[in-house]
Amino acid sequence: MRKFWSILASTELTIVLAILVCINAGVGSILTVKNPEFYGRLDAGILLPTLIKTEGGILTGWIYLLIVLVSIFTLNTIVCTTDKTIGIIRQKYPWQAFLPHLVHVGFLIAMLGHLVGATFGFKSPPTYISQGRLQPVPENPGLYIRLDSIEKEGNGYRDLKSLKTTVTLFDGAEKILTDTIEINGPLIYKGVAFYHLKDGKSPAGLMLDIDGKELRANFNKSFYIGEKRFLMGRLFPDFAKDDKGTAYSMSRNYRNPHQEIISPTGERTYLGLRNPGAFIKLSGSRIEMKDFLYDTYAIIKVSKDPGIWLIIIGSSILTLGIILIFIFRRRELVKHTA
């Protein structure tokens, strides 16, 4: 047992493990660059549960090896820290001798946080949210999100200088908070993190001219001409009619888009959407397409990492230890050279 303990506490084991981890991580980096789609799918879920379900051969083998190496490295750190701490107490060294081991403790706490995060929590698939509409937050029953605005500075995502996506969270109908998602700055609420992936504008309806009056009509909803209620029916991307006169779409491509409009009496007609100015006559009214109505939308990712606070605490302790080592070693150096 003592021999096993001395092996785990040895500096030689630390060096060997550090070399093996670097080599393995280097191989993994090359595989990741060459197989972005595979690792993109793997990264979309919680690591360990997703890894177990994924068959990837060498593509996942290096990850298992990395987990084993890091686990041994962690055990090596625990044994070394325990061994050295006991020695410091027995030899009654000054408290500054504990500082390197404070760094080790921070490392261990951060590693525990990563283990918790890689095992539990969740990551949602990309989620579409549109401006002004409440939509449920994945994996969080009763929690809703509304997109309020998007402010960007720069051209395109490569030249993006700043991004502020303002959203509001609701618990049922009750407003909880309004905050922003920024570049590398997710909104975090009760451990749930919201990340901005991309944004844009999508057609949400039509601006119509009806007998000389402008009217906004949203897709899949109704609009009124006087007291008459008209329905916005199906949207046909590639409009055509069969031998019986029934409307259908020949493909999913927007080659010849038409919007179905249904009168109060059930009469159906189809308004072409390729060019503004197209019109139809229905129930005695002239309905002309003027333009599209657009919704601002954002694609977000929602995730929860229950180990994030352990990572933050561990990283803070590690950083504090390094700063204190630097301060006191600098003082000793000044003291001995003065």
DSSP labels for 174-220?
EEEEEEEEETTB-EEETTEEEEEEEEEEEEEEEEEEETTEEEEEETT
At 78-87, the pLDDT tens digits run 998 898 888 8
CA distance 303 to 286: 50
Return the percent helix, strand and coil in the chain, to nearest 5.
40, 35, 25
At 267-301, the pLDDT tens digits run 999 999 988 999 999 998 999 999 999 999 999 99
The answer on pLDDT for 20 being more than 70 is: yes
The answer on pLDDT for 8 being more than 80 is: yes
DSSP 187: E
The answer on pLDDT for 25 being more than 50 is: yes
Question: Which of 317, 305, 303, 263 shows the shortest CA–CA distance to 285?
Answer: 263
Contact 331, 338 (CB under 8 A): no
The answer on pLDDT for 155 being more than 90 is: no
Interval 121-140 mean pLDDT = 89
* CA torsion through residues 25, 31, 36, 39, sign: negative
pLDDT band at 338 (very low <50, low <70, confident <90, very high): very low
CA distance 211 to 225: 9
At 102-115, the pLDDT tens digits run 999 999 999 999 89
Which carries the bigger pLDDT value, residue 117 or residue 148?
148
Q: Of 136-145, 164-173, 320-329, which gets the smallest average pLDDT? A: 320-329
The answer on pLDDT for 337 being more than 50 is: no
Interval 181-195 mean pLDDT = 89
- Residue 243, SS3? coil
Quote the pLDDT of residue 287.
94
The answer on pLDDT for 157 being more than 60 is: no
pLDDT band at 10 (very low <50, low <70, confident <90, very high): confident
Structure token digits, residue 37: 């789609």
The answer on pLDDT for 254 being more than 50 is: yes
CA distance 336 to 338: 6
Quote the pLDDT of residue 4.
82
Structure token digits, residue 13: 């084991």
Contact 162, 183 (CB under 8 A): yes
Query: Rounded to 5 degrees, what angle do the CA atoms 142, 123, 305 make?
Result: 90
Any idea how long the chain is?
A: 338
DSSP 253: S
CB count in 10 Å sphere of residue 194:
23
- The tokens 């694609």 sit on which residue? 299
Interval 114-140 mean pLDDT = 89
Share of the chain above pLDDT 90, in %: 57
Q: Tell me the backbone φ, ψ of residue 145, rounded to 5 degrees.
A: -130, 145
Structure token digits, residue 96: 């500054």
Which carries the bigger pLDDT value, residue 9 or residue 127?
127
Region class of 314: left (phi > 0), else alpha (psi between -120 and 50), else beta: alpha
Between the two ends of the chain, the Cα-to-Cα distance in Å is: 48
Interval 26-51 mean pLDDT = 88
CA distance 234 to 9: 71
Share of the chain above pLDDT 70, in %: 96
Give the contacts of 230 (CB within 8 A, at least 6 positions apart): 222, 223, 224, 261, 262, 263, 264, 282, 283
Quote the pLDDT of residue 158.
61
- The tokens 């019986």 sit on which residue? 244
Contact 276, 263 (CB under 8 A): no
Helix axes 11-34, 58-91, angle to 10 degrees: 150
CA distance 118 to 299: 24
The answer on pLDDT for 333 being more than 60 is: no
At 227-244, the pLDDT tens digits run 899 999 999 999 999 998
Quote the pLDDT of residue 156.
59
Q: What is the Rg, in whole angstroms, of the alpha carbon atoms belonging to the chain?
A: 31
CB count in 10 Å sphere of residue 196:
21
pLDDT band at 336 (very low <50, low <70, confident <90, very high): very low
Query: Rounded to 5 degrees, what angle do the CA atoms 86, 15, 74 make?
Result: 55
